[in-house]
Amino acid sequence: MTTVRVATLNIWGRRGPWKDRLGLIKAELARLSPLLVGLQEVMRDERSGSCQAAAIAAGLGYEVAYAPAARFDEGVLGNALLSRLPIREQRVLPLPTPPGAEARSLLYAAVESAAGLLPVFVTHLDWQGDHGAARLAQVRFIAARAAELTGDLPPVIMGDFNAEPDADEIRYLRGLHVVDGESVCFADAWVHGGDRSAGETFSRVNDYARRVREPSRRIDYIFTGRKGALGEPRHTSLAFATSTGGVWPSDHFGLVSDIVVAADQYSR
């Protein structure tokens, strides 16, 4: 079996003690050594060219792809992919977004693995609690783009979905909810490779998350397509989930998973 280690984290923009948080994020990446890292809430200043993704990647051997989404006075907030594999293609795909809501985007990249081109998607869905219908439209869009852009290797889709595992939008991605006669089936890496705990990524254990006075829940995901053994998440765990001196890497915990991208013909 050949696996690719992938990780995802909503980095919380520049909020909180960013310089200290940056050091913790980089230290965790050095410890985990993922080949692919999906980042959300990444701030980029189009005037100065400064970008949080580039700051995180510096010195760690990653290429950077960026997908802008919402624009604010202080800069653009979007998604990014850090890759130690060559990025051969990248696209920015705007997600369907309700009027008045923050713009959202889907980052697509084709990265060159030992097994061939691996399609990777990084996204961040609408955050409002009562916007489940909007998120459902967004995941249907993502699934359609994944079908169009997937070749020999199954896709990896990761990000902050702002929805709990039993929400219709997550059930749709897992093949448990049919919409207009349409269904898809992606593997939830936590279900396949986690430790059978709740896997809460927005947790009141985290001082930054506790400030918003919301319940702990799992809202960050890594999904894969499955083609036999290909795309199987072999092991998944929480990441970026410890503090140092009262500083946490983000208000979210992240995930890291080892995904099968090549298997011998006898594997089941």
Encode pLDDT of 36-94 as tens digits: 999 999 999 877 778 999 999 999 999 999 999 988 878 899 999 999 999 999 999 99
Q: Which tokens in the block code for residue 37?
A: 């890292």
Residues in the chain: 268
Q: Which CATH class is domain 2-262?
A: alpha beta
User: Got the DSSP string for 98-147?
Assistant: -TTSPP-EEEEEEEEETTEEEEEEEEE----TT-HHHHHHHHHHHHHHHH
Residue 268 — pLDDT band, cuts 50, 70, 90? Answer: very low
The predicted pLDDT at position 264 comes to 63
Residue 199's nearest CA partner among 256, 127, 266, 119 is: 256
* 157-185: average pLDDT: 92
- Give the tens place of pLDDT for each residue, 181-226: 887 899 999 999 999 999 999 999 999 999 999 999 999 999 999 8
